[in-house]
Amino acid sequence: MTTLDGGPGRPGDAVFADAVRTANLAAPAEPAAAVTVRSAREAEAAIRFARANGMSVRVHTTGHAAATQLPMAGALLVRTDLAEPVTVDAENLVARVPAGAVWREVVTTAARHQLAAVHPIAPSVGVVGYLTRGGVGVHGRARGVAANAVRAFDLVTADGASRRVDAASDPELFDALRGGGGGFGIVTAVELALFPLASLVTGAAYWSLEHADQLVPLWRDWTVDAPREATTTLRILSGPAVAWAPGPVLCVAGAVIGGSAAASDADDLLDPLRAVAAPLRDTWHADGPAAALFAHEHPAGPRRTVGDHLLLDEIGRDGVTEFLRVAGEGSGSPLLAAELRHLGGALAEPDPAGGLLDHIDAQFAYVGTGSAADPTITAAAVEHSAVVRAALSPWDVGTTVPSMVATRTQPQGHLDASRALRAEAVRARVDPDGLFAGDVLPGSPG
């Protein structure tokens, strides 16, 4: 059962259990009731039910951002999983993506037409949540913030009405939906601009962590003048040992677009690193556009994790030293992953047609992930995340990207005062009773 025919699910029944599933098992959703909607009409019915029963409404799809959510006591949780396929209009370079779709569906469908989108590093991330939270991902340095590529939303607002929202029909709401902090309604579909891409160079190379003191400065030096066609991430990984990596490793992963120049640009990055030491594993290769989605080899399936996120200015050699001190060999770090994502390029450039979060004023994003397998392990990860945050504080720009935020308790905020006020004004107009107020992100006045 996925509709409201007999009312939403309650704790203990199958409808409830299906609707509250999250990708982060350490952050269970605990609403008063929950339902999975398969159409815009069912989303409308969910709003009517909530109003009739004095409940607020919360919305999610995959639950990757579950740890950022406010408590859901007294709320109706709506999980969107619309019964529609992803479709691509290759002539007009647009994909229609129903709420509930994950990036694997979009990227592989678009690739059949030699088209691509600015997607995250994980195939299982929900498309709608990623885009409404800005989205800084693969190809970001070449194409900018992912939300800027949205051309329209299908939205059910607090009055229970379905509407199409675009730059012509409601420009203020359209801008607010693209990075404005949430709380505007239930998105049931997006229309997303794609771009032509026949091939790229993508992959990941792994070295023993003992080489990090040489490799990390080389990677950082390369980022200073890196072509915007290259978007890369440096990660220190200490997950479960595998045959080719019995201990912690340093990984450089990413993608380079740009036609025939892509191979040369990738070699400019990788050859100096390979000269330091032969990688334990090296998957960098030329391939079609879908390959970039799988290059980072992001763990599949639900996990129990905690983490942290900072946006950083140019870190220089001093910043590299501090990063290695708290995350490198001998640091005692319990984190599963500590990574630096290279920003800049088109990500740093305001987009006149973009949403409220249309660019990122930072050179790097730090993202740390720790296990939350049990209270002791969780406490160690949280404690060390604070150590990393303190070490990187001289370069912290003081803002965050909502799609990268790990927990609701970490310092965050992504809009300046004027843009936050614009988002607040839109929320007051489309949701005057605050039906969706619980979905407003911290740092986004509501």
Those residues of the chain that have pLDDT short of 70 are 1-6, 240-241, 443-446
Domain's final residue, options 386, 404, 422: 404
pLDDT at residue 446 in the model: 42
What is the rounded distance in angstroms from the CA atom of residue 283 to the CA atom of residue 206? 9
State whether 120 and 243 are in the same domain.
no
Q: Strand pairing partners for 61?
A: none
Q: Are residues 138 and 62 in the same domain?
A: no
Question: What is the Rg, in whole angstroms, of the alpha carbon atoms belonging to the chain?
Answer: 21
What pLDDT does residue 407 have?
Answer: 87
Q: What are the phi and psi torsion angles at 59 (to 5°)?
A: -135, 135
* 189 and 153 belong to one structural domain: yes
Residue 285 lies in a domain: yes
CATH number for the domain including 102? 3.30.465.10
- The residues, any chain, with a CB within 8 Å of residue 130's CB and separated by 6 or more, are 103, 120, 137, 146, 403
Phi-psi region of 134 (alpha: psi -120 to 50; beta: other; left: phi over 0): left
Length of the chain counted residue by residue = 446
Residues 189 and 205 both lie in one domain: no
| Domain match, 20 and 106 both | no
Q: Is 148 domain-assigned?
A: yes
Q: Are 321 and 221 found together in one domain?
A: yes
The answer to whether residues 149 and 217 belong to one domain is no
Indicate if 221 and 352 belong to the same structural domain. Answer: yes
Q: Two tokens at 8?
A: 């939403």
Residue 335 belongs to some domain of the structure = yes
CB 187 within 8 A of CB 128: yes
Contact 197, 114 (CB under 8 A): yes
The residue behind tokens 């039906």 is 435
Please state, in angstroms and rounded to a whole number, the distance separating the CA atoms of residues 132 and 43: 18
Is 417 among the domain residues? no
385 and 370: one domain?
yes
Domain containing 42 — which CATH number? 3.30.43
Establish if 389 belongs to a structural domain.
yes
- Please tell me the predicted confidence (pLDDT) of residue 412: 86
- 3-state SS of the chain is CCCCCCCCECCCCHHHHHHCCCCECCCCCCCCEEEEECCHHHHHHHHHHHHHCCCEEEEECCCCCHHHCCCCCCEEEEEECCCCCCEEECCCCEEEEECCCEHHHHHHHHHCCCEECCECCCCCCEHHHHHHCCCCCECHHHHCCHHHHEEEEEEECCCCCEEEECCCCCHHHHHHHCCCCCCCCEEEEEEEECEECCCEEEEEEEEEHHHHHHHHHHHHHHHHCCCCCEEEEEEEECCCCECCECCCEEEEEEEECCCCHHHHHHHHHHHHHHHHCCCCEECCEEECHHHHHCCCCCCCCCECEEEEEEEECCCHHHHHHHHHHHHCCCCCCCCCEEEEEECCHHHHCCCCCCCCCCCCCCCEEEEEEEECCCHHHHHHHHHHHHHHHHHHHHHECCCCCHHHCCCCCCCCCCCCHHHHHHHHHHHHHHCCCCCCHHHCCCCCCC
Total domains, the chain: 3
Based on the domain organization, do 226 and 312 belong to the same domain? yes
Q: What pLDDT score does 2 carry?
A: 45
Residue 340 domain-assigned (yes or no): yes
Q: Give the pLDDT score at 299.
A: 77
Spatial separation of the C-alpha atoms in residues 90 and 234, rounded to whole Å? 34
Domain that residue 306 falls in? 200-404
In this structure, the answer to whether residues 52 and 120 fall within a common structural domain is: no
Among 196, 229, 245, identify where a domain stops.
Answer: 196
| pTM for the whole structure | 0.93
Per the domain annotation, does 108 fall within a domain?
yes
168 plus 220 within the same structural domain: no
C-alpha to C-alpha distance for 248 and 300, rounded to whole angstroms: 19
- Structure confidence at residue 247 (pLDDT): 87
Residue where one domain finishes, among candidates 138, 162, 196: 196
The CATH number that applies at residue 398 is 3.40.462.20
**Residue 427 located in a structural domain:** no
